[in-house]
Chains A and B, each alone.
Chain A
């Protein structure tokens, strides 16, 4: 079984400030990790993913996440946020081997960027 913990339900931040959204996971097997973003009244969009290789992964809009196996974390960061980054962010995990290809999601973090 696997689980994902997003400790922060809401993160308010001023525009152009840095932000970190925390994600920790638990799994007895190796995993793939994902961050999804959900804008108001829209579906889930894949932001970035870690499959293997470099532990630092980046998205096209300036977000990055680092896989830390020893700390079982996959925190999402952005050095300077924009008002348009206001959304809900979900961390998710799936097993990388064997059966069970479902995604397990965290409870989400609402990022609110203020002027």
Chain B
């Protein structure tokens, strides 16, 4: 079964450093998303991406965050200058159509900012 692949599975970074989280969505999917889950809390929407541009973003997704689809397969989330409160599990997801088919999530990247 097709899956969304995320790398790395765990990343530790120093506060203030830039970090890039990588995702390979399912090949025929058109919509891409990033969500995050702070330990013990609910999963929160960060950003959605379609047709090479951001289609929606949450208030969490401030200027420190950016997304990119640098080639036909990868989808990246960059955090420019990490803060302690960015420590969370980050999930990438993709979907074939707008909302209707359910989202396929990756297994996540656990980001720890020290």
Residues of chain A having any CB pair with chain B under 8 Å: 32, 34, 36, 42-46, 49, 51, 90, 92, 94-96, 99-108
Residues of chain A within 8 A (CB-CB) of B31 are: 101
Known: A32-B99, A32-B100, A108-B43. 14 other contacts (CB 8 A): A34-B103, A42-B107, A44-B43, A45-B105, A46-B102, A46-B103, A94-B99, A99-B56, A101-B31, A102-B48, A103-B93, A105-B44, A106-B42, A107-B42
Are B98 and A108 closer than 8 Å at their CB atoms?
A: no
Are B100 and A100 closer than 8 Å at their CB atoms?
A: no
Are A102 and B45 closer than 8 Å at their CB atoms?
A: yes
Are A103 and B35 closer than 8 Å at their CB atoms?
A: yes
Q: Which of A34, A43, A51, A100 contacts B106 (CB 8 A)?
A: A43
Q: How many contacts between A and B, using CB within 8 angstroms?
A: 60
B interface secondary structure, majority? strand
Known contacts A42-B107, A43-B105; decide if A102 and B91 are in contact (CB<8 Å).
Answer: no
Within 8 A of A (CB), among B25-66: 31, 33, 35, 41-45, 48, 55-56, 58
Q: Which residue of B lies closest to A32 (CB)?
A: B99
Known contacts A44-B43, A101-B48; decide if A96 and B56 are in contact (CB<8 Å).
Answer: no
Q: Which of B42, B58, B102, B108 contacts A34 (CB 8 A)?
A: B102
Are A49 and B102 closer than 8 Å at their CB atoms?
A: yes
Residues of chain B within 8 A (CB-CB) of A49 are: 102
Interface centre among A42, A90, A101 (most CB of B within 10 A): A101
Are B100 and A51 closer than 8 Å at their CB atoms?
A: yes
- How near does chain B come to A101, taking the closest CB pair, in angstroms? 5
Residues of chain A within 8 A (CB-CB) of B55 are: 99, 101
Q: Is B11 located at the chain interface by the 8 A CB criterion?
A: no
